[in-house]
Structure 1
């Protein structure tokens, strides 16, 4: 393969905590737009028969899936993750990042999100009950689908 061959932009999914509804949206988009989608998880994942969708099961510790994605995601790729440190890592590599609720991570907002995450961890470490994530709603699915469509459209025009 020639080094000048442009790489194909793809979607990387931090799949251990990705809601099934979001995976379904990604599976449909992979076929419709012929976009490669790679789900990375610590466990085996069922995927539809597709040339565009693959699942990678990583072995190892807590951040094995994050490390796998961070080492491979590059400019033009989209990373789907709820993990703020992973989002920061892939943004540094030129990838785009979005959470399953459709909230984009950007270079302008990632430092604030990392600080808030650290603050919440400190509170939990001190025994403060901070509650869990909000319930996942249809509007979250729609917001994610909208962000994915924007990324796909930008990929076609980029």
Structure 2
């Protein structure tokens, strides 16, 4: 098992480290810019190029049945699910093969609405303490399931 993190805007990096250390699971922090991470043998940092999808492309290439991917990016989640990875949003919401099609479609509709109406339609709810708690539980459960499955 390993954890791949779409890290540039990830609000739960500290929580990821906490759970990863408890389970002794390696974590790869992937970003477009240099991010500070704790010095720990389970943590690696990968800084990709500044091109638009460089971090997403790297994560999607590394994703597989042994990976838990943390991202809020629906299109990246879709790519990683198709590669066999477990994918969790920073809010703790798991992405699934059964629901990703609807999420991609909703994303496209919202993009069209924003293009026509501007930012007047709002966005996602602010990140809350309950999201952080839900994420901790979801990541812990995903790692336990993966270990039970022999990953």
Structure with the higher fraction of residues in helix conformation: 2
Aligned equivalent of 2:28: 38
Structure 1 consecutive aligned stretches of length 4 or more whose deviation exceeds 4 Å: none
Aligned positions, number: 148
Tell me the residue number matched to 1:102. 92
Question: Do the aligned residues in 2 keep the contact of 1:36 with 1:52 (CA within 8 Å)?
Answer: yes
Shift of 1:17: 1.3
Task: Determine the structure 1 residue equivalent to 2:10.
Answer: 18
Q: Compare relative contact order (CA 8 Å, sep 6+) and give the higher one, 1 or 2.
A: 2
Corresponding residue SS for 2:40: coil
How far the C-alpha of 1:127 sits from its partner, in A, is 2.5
After superposition, give the CA deviation of every residue in 1:110-154 in whole Å (9 maximum; x if it has no partner): 000000000000011112422132111110001000101101211
Q: Give 5+ residue unaligned stretches, structure 2.
A: none
Aligned runs of 1:105-120 on 2, under 5 Å?
A: 105-120=95-110
Q: Show the 5 A alignment for 1:66-105.
A: 66-105=56-95
Distance 1:131 1:66 in 2: 25
Q: Secondary structure at the match of 2:19?
A: helix
Q: TM-score, normalised by structure 1?
A: 0.90
- 1:1-45 CA-to-partner distances (Å, cap 9, x unmatched) read xxxxxxxx21100001101xx100111122211101111011111
Distance, in Å, in 2 between the alignment partners of 1:32 and 1:11 is 13
